[in-house]
Amino acid sequence: MNSVEGGTTPDAVNSEADDEAARAEARAVHAKSIYLLADAILRWGLRLTLPLALVTIGVATLTAGELGLVGSGFGVVLGFGSSLVTITMMRVAATRPPSALMGLALGGYAVKMTVLLVVMLLLKDVDSFSRPALAFGMLVVVVAWAVAEVVAFKTTRTPTIVVPRTAQHSPDE
């Protein structure tokens, strides 16, 4: 910080204000980028996953009857629930600093996998549905949604890294 006889110069105060404004602008751009990507993932996810989920339920019903319908239907619901947790985490991460994004992503992944494991363990002795149909229904949705995430990321024009402009490094100087 620049000081003159123990005080702060007006240039230093303006520079700090400019830096804070640049950081606020970068946070806003980051949040907008994450919201746009989350919306694109939701659109692509539904576009790719819904038809595949319906086909999966149909095939499971034809091959395993009512037990296949129940199993694949429940697997599809679990897969969609897992995918929607990702969208929710992205929206939460948009309001946090970019440095928190990785922690939220890894923590959310751990929570999702733990919940899915617990659900599967709780259902291991239930005989009112087809376990293979449940697994296949969940697998189809999770894989299709992952493909949708990649497609959304590739097709959505959002900045991956947002670096704030600082007063010391502005292009006008």
Residue pLDDT, tens place only, 5-27: 555 555 555 677 777 777 777 77
Q: What is the pTM of this model?
A: 0.76
d(CA 53, CA 48): 9
Q: In this predicted structure, what is the pLDDT of residue 100? A: 77
Q: Where are the domains of the chain?
A: 16-161
The token pair that represents 127 in the structure block:
């005989």
pLDDT digits (tens, 9 = 90+) for 46-92: 999 999 999 999 999 999 999 999 999 999 999 999 899 888 888 88
Among 13-22, 116-125, 137-146, name the one with the lowest average pLDDT: 13-22
